[in-house]
Amino acid sequence: MLWVSFFLLFDVEVLFLFPWAINLRDLGLFGTIEMFVFIGILVAGLIYVYRSNILKWA
């Protein structure tokens, strides 16, 4: 059940990445920085989960 939650979390992340990728030229530097901050927060959460040994099978 935990894997399903992680899948949904990162699946929703992709939903936010597609509009950003399509409008990258219009958003300019601000949009690029904003998306890197968003991805950084998600990566920090993934590192926290990995170090907490939540992703271990047994």
Amino acid, res. 16: F
52 falls within a domain: no
Helices 2-22, 24-51: inter-axial angle, 10-degree rounding: 160
pLDDT tens, residue by residue, 1-10: 666 777 777 7
58 falls within a domain: no
pLDDT tens, residue by residue, 11-55: 777 887 888 888 888 888 988 898 899 889 888 888 888 888 877
- For the chain, give the number of residues: 58
Predicted model pTM = 0.66
5 falls within a domain: no
18 falls within a domain: yes
24 falls within a domain: yes
Number of folded domains that form the chain: 1
Domain extent for 36: 12-44
36 falls within a domain: yes
